[in-house]
Amino acid sequence: MRHDHLITSKQLSREDIETVLDRAAEIAAEPEAVAGTYEGTLLGLLFYEPSTRTKMSFETAMKRLGGDVVDMGAVESSSVSKGETLADTVRVIEGYTDALVLRHPREGAATMASEFVDVPLINAGDGAGHHPTQTLLDLYTIRENAGLDDLTIGIMGDLKYGRTVHSLAYALTNFDTTQHFISPTSLQLPREVVYDLHQRGTSIKEHEDLAAVLETLDVLYVTRIQQERFPDKEEYRKVAGQYQIDVETLEAARDELTIMHPLPRVNEIAPEVDGTEYATYFEQAHNGIPVRMALLDLFLGETDE
Ligand code: ASP
């Protein structure tokens, strides 16, 4: 990988993706081989929005590599509440740490922040924009369960505000995939994303009804309706509760179907699905550790790939 920062999955080539996934697979197979290799390395965590998995898995990944983290903590208890700009904050924290992980409610925040720092900056989600590290663990999970080429995937839910969807859709254009997007019309993919996907030569189709495609899918990627991004709560109420799946919905699915979700789920997947062979979302979340260890290794280390 030859990147200064990781901002969006658009910047990732097939080779970049395979480098990360192969390294993650090596680490997953033999974690003790890298334990302690980054002793003395410090990762700065700047989370301006809630996070459980992303933040804790970056912390776990850094610690499993022997390093440590420094965490800005909650926005309310930091100088952000005194009016400090993001540009100033990242310029200060880069002096304390070897790399930065940033989550921010504003789309484009990671791009802007990266222009002010020399240490690697990793985008851990910028508003409704992108979430490239989630994409890498999604791709890892897809590769393990269904393979990345000759793949038919359905991506369902909030395609408008779901940053994990945008990142995944772009990254999948590096592979031979057919992408079906299932949502209410009001939550369809942004038109510029549709345009870009067509430009990249990927086969995409949009649907309002899962039943239209379910039986053709290798992977069904379910997402949460992003309540916090709706400018109008009434609009949220209109679509909340749509696009839920349960065991009955899945009757038409292929036996090999892999169901994924970036989590947290609200009510999109009934708990009864958890015990089926389809459910892969907890495995997907666990894959965040080797994938983020691999990423940190590639950004911080000497690995010549
Ligand atoms: N955890 C994911 C994200 O930060 C998905 C979600 O919040 O629905 O984008």
Give the residue carrying structure tokens 């925040």.
Answer: 109
Closest approach atom of ligand 1 to CA 52: 1
d(CA 213, CA 47): 37
Ligand 1 pocket, 132 CB below 6 A?
no
Which pLDDT score is estimated for 82? Answer: 85
d(CA 158, CA 142): 20
Tens digit of each residue's pLDDT (9 = 90 or more) over 221-263: 999 999 999 999 998 988 988 899 999 999 999 999 999 999 9
Closest approach atom of ligand 1 to CA 164: 9
User: Is the pLDDT confidence value at 146 over 50?
Assistant: yes
Tens digit of each residue's pLDDT (9 = 90 or more) over 195-224: 999 999 998 999 999 999 999 999 999 999
Question: Which tokens hold the place of 77?
Answer: 């208890």
User: Is the pLDDT confidence value at 79 over 90?
Assistant: no
Which pLDDT score is estimated for 111? Answer: 97
User: Is the pLDDT confidence value at 155 over 90?
Assistant: yes
Tens digit of each residue's pLDDT (9 = 90 or more) over 262-305: 999 999 999 999 999 999 999 999 999 999 999 999 999 864 44
Closest approach atom of ligand 1 to CA 158: 8
Ligand 1 pocket, 166 CB below 6 A?
no
Which pLDDT score is estimated for 304? Answer: 43
Mean per-residue pLDDT over the chain, rounded = 95
Residue among 55, 164, 284 to mutate when testing ligand 1 (max atoms within 8 A of CB): 164
Ligand 1 pocket, 163 CB below 6 A?
yes
Please tell me the distance between residue 302's alpha carbon and the centre of ligand 1 in angstroms. 31
Q: pTM of the predicted model, to two decimals?
A: 0.96
